[in-house]
């Protein structure tokens, strides 16, 4: 006797798979996380208590902001089948450009609102420019965008570190690798609840709440969104219909790079108020945002929800790091499993496994 496993494409996707698949993978990854924690000697309930706590904490929102912004951008790029893995570098580009301008060009008497607008635009442009570079390389020369965006991540990281260790190192920072604190007219205001100051900065929070809806509209109601979706689902049909694929690639790279750039601005102007080491500015958000995009099923509003959830997870992760001896690396294990189970469960919603017993 032998068991044969075969599969058949379902005539329709499983109903509610848009909800079941993300939920299922979250549950799987939470269980695995808890097992990992138990293995390192933590009480199994601690994890869930910390998680429940994080759901209502401002630090979750603080992490959710860059994750949502970058994640929504990546969702747009992935929808066009453009594999931007460069949000990390694009966040850094935004942070770097905004820091440079804030330090050296913004006059101390400039109106804070004007300054904020200028710096957001600068950050957006820097991120978008970096994205566009990879976009052009892909559209014109078919250079693999996964590799080019990755390489740019590393390059940006080294440049930021070079600056904070070298020419931009602050004179009032006792030799620490970071720039001087920015003048306070460029500080983005942080949310204050009662007399508690949170690390949530209001303008970037507002942007990250508006952008998903804007991008949803762009993707599903406008002609550009139509082009993006056609290019992503069938590039041959796109060419057939006269859609300029190169333009679509460039557009999605500008959007995703730009949104990551804004996230970078939010980090340096809204939280640190100075440029610090690259590893701490972006802190892997650019990579985690890939999960946000997928968990949201490449839907911008889905990414908003997913971004918040991952924000909770990241915040819980930091808390756990403190109360247990689990290293930051453990978080990578969990996010990896989350992403893997996402695409594996997707399979079940599209294909029906058939088990046959062969005599």
Partner 1 sequence: MSRGTTPQNLFFNQEYREALAYMKDISKSFYGNKALNNVSFNLRKGEIHVILGENGAGKTTLVKILAGLYSPDSGEIFLEGKKVNIESTRDAIKYGIAMVNQYPQLVEELTVADNISLSLNNVGLFNQTSKIGDKIIEISERYGFRIQPWKEIMNLSFSERQRVEIIKAIMLDAKVIIMDEPTTLLTTKERRLIYQFMKKAKADERGIILITHKLSEALEIADRITVLRKGKVVDTVDVSEATYEKLMEMMFGRTVAIHEKILKRGLGETTSRRVLEISDLSVKDNYGRLAVNGISFHIHKGEIYGIAGIAGNGQIELVEALYGLRKPVKGDIKIMGKNYWEYSKKEIKRIIGYIPDKIQDAVVLDMPIYENSILKLYDTSEYIRNRFIIDYDRAIEYSSQLIKNYYIAAEGPDVYAGYLSGGNLQKLVLAREISIDPPLIVAVNPTRALDHFSTEFVYETLYKFKETGKAVLLISEDKDEVLRLSDRISVMYEGRLIEMGRREDVDVDLMEEYMIRGQNED
Partner 2 sequence: MLELVARAIIAGTPLLIASIGEIYTERSGVLNLGLEGIFVLGAATSFVTTLYTGNAYLGLLVGGIFGAFIGFLHGIVSVSFRGRQVVSGLALTMFSYGLASLIGKSEVGKPLPTYIYVGDIWMELIAIEILIAVAFWYILFKLKLGASIRSVGDNPNAAEALGVDVVKVRILSTVFGSFMGGVAGAWYILGYIQVWTEGAGMGRGWIALAIVIVSAWNPLLAPVFSFLFGGIEAALWRFQLPPYNLDPYLLGALPYLATLVILFMFMATPIKKYFRPPASLGEPFYKEERTI
Binding residues for partner 1 (CB under 8 A): 4, 6, 8-9, 11-12, 221-224, 226-227, 229-230, 233-234, 236-237, 239-242, 244, 356, 358-359
Nearer to partner 1, 3 or 322 (CB): 3
**Sole binder of partner 2 in the list 38, 44, 113, 158 (CB under 8 A):** 158
Q: Which does 332 bind (CB under 5 to 8 A by kind): partner 2, partner 1, none?
A: partner 2
**Sole binder of partner 2 in the list 166, 175, 194, 242 (CB under 8 A):** 166
Q: Which does 12 bind (CB under 5 to 8 A by kind): partner 1, partner 2, none?
A: partner 1
DSSP assignment of 45-60: HHHHHHHHHHHT-HHH
Contact by Cβ (8 Å): 183, 102 = yes
DSSP assignment of 274-338: S---HHHHTTTHHHHHHHHHHHTTT-HHHHHHHHHHHHHHHHHHHHHHHHS---HHHHHHHHHHH
Q: How far apart are CA 113 and CA 270, in angstroms?
A: 13
User: Three-state SS across 237-259?
Assistant: HHHHCCCCHHHHHHHHHHHHHHH
What is the nearest approach in angstroms of partner 2 to the Cβ of residue 327? Answer: 5
Nearer to partner 2, 142 or 236 (CB): 142
Nearer to partner 2, 6 or 222 (CB): 6
What is the nearest approach in angstroms of partner 2 to the Cβ of residue 167? Answer: 10
What is the nearest approach in angstroms of partner 1 to the Cβ of residue 9? Answer: 7
What is the nearest approach in angstroms of partner 1 to the Cβ of residue 151? Answer: 29
* DSSP category for residue 186: G
Nearer to partner 1, 197 or 350 (CB): 350
Sign of CA pseudo-dihedral 56, 68, 34, 317: negative
What is the nearest approach in angstroms of partner 2 to the Cβ of residue 328? Answer: 7
Q: How far apart are CA 128 and CA 149, in angstroms?
A: 12
DSSP assignment of 65-117: HHHHHHHHHHHHHHHTT-----HHHHHHHHHHHHHHHHHHTS-TTS-HHHHHH
**Which 9-68 residues touch partner 2, going by CB under 8 A?**
9
Nearer to partner 2, 83 or 124 (CB): 83
Among 277, 262, 270, 268, residue whose Cα is nearest residue 122: 262
- Quickly tell me which residue has 């892909």 as its tokens: 138
Q: How far apart are CA 289 and CA 69, in angstroms?
A: 8
What is the nearest approach in angstroms of partner 1 to the Cβ of residue 344? Answer: 20
What is the nearest approach in angstroms of partner 1 to the Cβ of residue 136? Answer: 19
For residues 125 to 154, the per-residue mask of contacts with partner 2, x marking binding by CB under 8 A and - elsewhere, is ------------x--xxxxx-xxx-xxx-x
Across the strands, what pairs with 118? Answer: none
**Options 48-56, 123-131, 227-235, 326-334: segment touching partner 2 (CB under 8 A):** 326-334
Nearer to partner 2, 119 or 164 (CB): 164
Contact by Cβ (8 Å): 287, 115 = no
What is the nearest approach in angstroms of partner 2 to the Cβ of residue 261? Answer: 19
Binding site for partner 2 (CB under 8 A): 8-9, 83, 85, 137, 140-144, 146-148, 150-152, 154-155, 158-159, 161-162, 165-166, 287, 290, 294, 327-340, 342-344, 346-347, 350-351
């Amino acid at each position: 006797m032998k068991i044969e496993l075969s599969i058949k494409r379902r005539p329709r996707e499983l109903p509610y798979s848009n909800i079941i698949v993300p939920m299922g993978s979250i549950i799987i990854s939470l269980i695995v996380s808890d097992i990992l924690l138990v293995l390192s000697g933590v009480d199994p309930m601690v994890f869930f208590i910390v998680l429940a706590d994080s759901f209502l904490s401002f630090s979750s929102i603080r992490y959710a902001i860059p994750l949502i912004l970058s994640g929504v951008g990546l969702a747009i790029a992935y929808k066009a089948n453009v594999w931007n893995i460069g949000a990390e570098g694009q966040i850094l580009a935004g942070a770097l450009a905004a820091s440079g301008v804030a330090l050296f060009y913004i006059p101390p008497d400039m109106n804070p609102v004007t300054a904020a607008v200028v710096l957001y635009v600068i950050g957006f442009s820097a991120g978008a420019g970096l994205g566009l570079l990879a976009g052009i390389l892909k559209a014109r020369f078919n250079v693999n965008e996964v590799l080019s965006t990755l390489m740019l991540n590393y390059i940006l990281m080294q440049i930021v570190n070079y600056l904070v260790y070298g020419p931009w190192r602050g004179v009032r920072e006792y030799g620490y690798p970071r720039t001087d604190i920015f003048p306070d007219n460029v500080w983005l205001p942080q949310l204050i609840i009662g007399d508690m100051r949170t690390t949530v900065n209001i303008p970037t929070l507002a942007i990250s709440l508006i952008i998903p809806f804007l991008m949803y509209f762009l993707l599903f109601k406008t002609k550009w969104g139509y082009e993006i979706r056609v290019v992503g689902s069938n590039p041959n049909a796109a060419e057939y219909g006269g859609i300029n694929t190169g333009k679509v690639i460039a557009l999605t790279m500008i959007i995703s790079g730009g949104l990551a750039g804004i996230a970078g601005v939010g980090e340096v102007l809204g939280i640190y108020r100075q440029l610090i080491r690259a590893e701490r500015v972006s802190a892997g958000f650019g990579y985690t945002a890939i999960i946000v995009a997928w968990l949201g099923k490449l839907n911008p509003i889905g990414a908003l929800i997913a971004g918040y959830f991952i924000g909770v997870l990241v915040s819980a992760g930091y808390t756990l790091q403190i109360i247990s001896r689990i290293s930051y690396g453990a978080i990578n294990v969990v996010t990896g499993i989350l992403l893997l189970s996402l695409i594996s469960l997707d399979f079940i919603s599209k294909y029906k496994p058939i088990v046959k017993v062969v005599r």
